[in-house]
Structure 1
């Protein structure tokens, strides 16, 4: 199968009606946006397909695994590798930076602390042990009510020479609002206020939010 055949097949197996969005992007575009320790050592013309859905834990994780198995069953002997949002190396470093994947693919803008840093921000608030101040992806429709779940690397698929990823759409925020969003995400993530930054058009239901709360409490 070529690039377009793979893209159409994956999109058909992970439809929007089931909560998915599928975005192809080049390895070269990803590597150009991360530091060296996160480089993917594949040809820069290989493509990944990035898929967005809701969250983790049993019922949702079971559903995600089921849908991914359906995709794998239909790949007809293609050479590929799956990276999950929780894929780690033995030293606990992520194998892939999902927020960067989503940004370079045009799925959701990745608000990084370095973009908004100043002499007095980020603040010196204490974080949980072994945690560091990190960036936040906000979707133009869902805000923070979504998650990147897995990326599929097709090792023998080349993107067309004229392929260019769309630019991610920014939510209109002032620098101060962006800093506040990052503070909410890093220091108060459990109350989920960061998800509503920018007044997203669509949100998780109250039932789903209660489920997430119960799963983390």
Structure 2
């Protein structure tokens, strides 16, 4: 990677990493090559991009301090607002570089997603996107089967939050990195897709590989609660959160909530 791109990557990791986020670089062309024109990103193929993931640590390191320091907007998803805050803060910390942010819930006016988050995670080598086509002689007949990404370290205990695009920064020599195929057997893939599509409420699909860290019981309770009822949980979470960081503006309440779609990591935006 050329020096400017490497320095930008270092700064992005340094800014987001302490809050429980992972970033993985990829070329826009790798993403576009897998998709029809309607879903492609309008940038030259070598343009540098990063997929942003949240790990289990994000709940304590980012969300709780955000709940204490920000005035949440009614009817807005607090996690979306928290992620948007950190991505916007990152954008402001790179004033010399244009950064285009696409969150996993951003839609075009026709309701077409602006980014297929799982495809981005796969081409960046961050998490393997297991789909029905990865199973030979599947047992589902005419049923619609959604795919799911599995992280080599966290299994399904993570979420894909969006993509950062850096217009004008091109990395033609960036080597492609294949995501680890951590569910290599046909039996394992069938069980994964079966659990994800039909039993996702019991969390078992997330343990398709042994994770180094899972969501805490508190975090599981939050994400198990229907979105419309999650605001009722915020007061106790705020009382348990860490002290606000000086960089957080208590007046900030940005972000825009929207229902998660099947192209996101998990059905309920967890």
Query: TM-score, normalised on structure 1?
Result: 0.86
Q: What secondary structure sits across from 1:166 in the alignment?
A: coil
Per-residue deviation at 1:78?
2.2
Per-residue deviation at 1:10?
0.7
Q: What is the distance in 2 between the residues matched to 1:184 and 1:153?
A: 33
What is residue 94 of structure 2 aligned with on the other side? 75
Check if 1:2 corresponds to 2:4. Answer: yes
Q: C-alpha deviations, 1:67-86, integer Å up to 9, x for none?
A: 11220111214223211010
Q: What is the distance in 1 between the residues matched to 2:133 and 2:36?
A: 13
Q: Is the 8 A contact 1:45 1:158 kept in 2?
A: yes
Per-residue deviation at 1:51?
0.9
Q: C-alpha deviations, 1:177-212, integer Å up to 9, x for none?
A: 202211211222233221111222221111111111
Per-residue deviation at 1:19?
1.2
**Superposition CA RMSD, Å:** 2.2
Q: Is the 8 A contact 1:85 1:149 kept in 2?
A: yes
Q: 1:187 to 1:142 in 2, by over 3 A?
A: same
Q: Is the 8 A contact 2:87 2:101 kept in 1?
A: no
Q: Which moves more between the two structures, 136-145 or 31-40?
A: 31-40
Q: Is the 8 A contact 1:173 1:198 kept in 2?
A: no
What is residue 96 of structure 1 aligned with on the other side? 115
Q: What is the distance in 2 between the residues matched to 1:62 and 1:96?
A: 18
Q: C-alpha deviations, 1:148-187, integer Å up to 9, x for none?
A: 101111111111x321132111214411220221121122
Unaligned runs of 5+ residues in structure 1 are: 126-131
What is residue 21 of structure 1 aligned with on the other side? 22
What is residue 160 of structure 2 aligned with on the other side? 148
1:5-154 maps to which residues of 2 (within 5 A)? Answer: 5-15=7-17, 17-54=18-55, 58-118=77-137, 120-125=138-143, 132-154=144-166
Larger RCO: 1 or 2 (CA < 8 Å, sep 6+): 2
How many residue pairs were aligned? 208
Q: Is the 8 A contact 1:143 1:197 kept in 2?
A: yes
Q: Is the 8 A contact 1:50 1:148 kept in 2?
A: yes
Q: Is the 8 A contact 1:24 1:105 kept in 2?
A: yes
Q: What is the distance in 1 between the residues matched to 2:212 and 2:21?
A: 17
Q: Is the 8 A contact 1:38 1:95 kept in 2?
A: yes
Query: TM-score, normalised on structure 2?
Result: 0.70
Per-residue deviation at 1:110?
0.8
